[in-house]
Amino acid sequence: MIYLLRDDLFGAERLNEIRARLGPPDLQGLNTTVLDGSRLTVGELRAAVAVVPFLGARRLVIVRRLFGGRRADGAGEATAGGRRASQGDARMQDILDYLPAVPAETDLVFIEDEAFDRDHPVVRQITRLGGEVYLPDPPRGEHLVPWIVRRVRTKGGRIAREAAEVLAELVEADDLRRLDLTLDLLITYVGEQVISPADVRTLVAESRDADVFALVDAVGARDGRRAFETYRRLLGSNASPIYIVAMLARQMRLLLLTHEAMARREDVVKAVAVHPRIAQKLARQARTFGAERCVAAVQRLAEVDQAIKTGEIEEELAVELLLAELTGVQAI
């Protein structure tokens, strides 16, 4: 069977259901192939689909980002919203022409970044062949809070409507997977209690603190890509660049205090006045960051903070340049 899913929470859940049809996890791995659609040729798709299931009745072939967005070689583009692909995009048409030949024992799943309306040629072809086009609209606006309440209920938890409203404001609604993970954390956090607004604020703040630790870890390892991914995740959680600068400065100062405590062989928990779990993370990061590097980072953070506040540089760009400097890579 052929499927068209969006690369979001709903698409991921539907893909898990399809994958479960393959059998136990070990069989799923043996009978699953994932392909990069941006570089995929018709011949490569044919070859992957033609493989016979191993020790099972079905195979799963997942193709990501084939029809939506620009091809890797810059040739034609198939855009969302029902706009047809360029007439010159023979590659897409060849793949659509091939779809009737997909074996009955193979589940072919196309996962796209965006939705397609019912007039898109991909939707029409998959529908004509009896496939499934599963592109539900994500909850937005006034529909988000009721969705949060229902979602918590399906997970076996309870949440006050006021708490759902706070969560809808604090977490980026466009990233439902991150929102759903936050719901799981909240349910675990409160146990059998009803999730309150205070619970939401506490946990979301803790989540940001965890990202700050992850950002410092990435900077300490000079891992520019991970540092920028974490930075942008913080931005996505509505943390402002100036807040991130302040949190990084605070973290560096804690690392300096940890260095001093470790040099004097003192208990970091008592010397820095933090929770034991936080003390363990600080001790680990202090070993990565030498004291001189911490001092230099604090000085640069102060300079960046001043440049932002005086309007010398746009704040997001300032932090990106700082991260590039601290990790020794170009901004990405």
**What are the distances in angstroms from CA 268 to CA 216, 258, 261, 293?**
18, 6, 6, 20
Confirm if 204 and 172 have CB atoms less than 8 A apart. Answer: no
What does the domain layout of the chain look like in residue ranges?
2-134, 141-195, 208-327
How far apart are alpha carbons 56 and 29 in whole angstroms?
A: 11
Fold of the 2-134 domain? Rossmann fold (3.40.50)
Tens of each residue's pLDDT in the chain, 332 residues = 999 998 888 998 999 899 888 888 777 888 899 998 877 888 999 999 999 888 888 999 999 888 864 333 333 344 444 444 443 377 788 889 999 999 999 999 999 887 777 888 899 999 999 999 999 888 887 888 999 999 999 999 999 999 998 888 776 556 687 788 889 889 988 888 999 998 988 877 666 666 777 788 788 777 888 888 888 888 877 778 888 888 788 888 888 999 999 999 998 888 887 667 678 878 888 888 888 888 888 899 999 988 888 888 888 899 999 888 888 755 44
**Which residue type occupies 37?**
G
Pick the CATH number of 208-327 from 3.30.70.1140, 1.20.272.10, 3.40.640.10, 3.30.565.10: 1.20.272.10
Residue 275 is predicted with a pLDDT of: 63
| Two tokens, residue 132 | 């499934």
Residue 259 is predicted with a pLDDT of: 92
Helix (H, G, I), strand (E, B) or coil at 135: coil
pTM for the whole thing? Answer: 0.57
How far apart are alpha carbons 260 and 77 in whole angstroms?
A: 58
Helices (H), 37-89: 42-50
Range list of β-strands (E), 65-175: 69-70, 77-78, 106-112, 132-134
Residue 258 is predicted with a pLDDT of: 92
DSSP label at 84? Answer: P
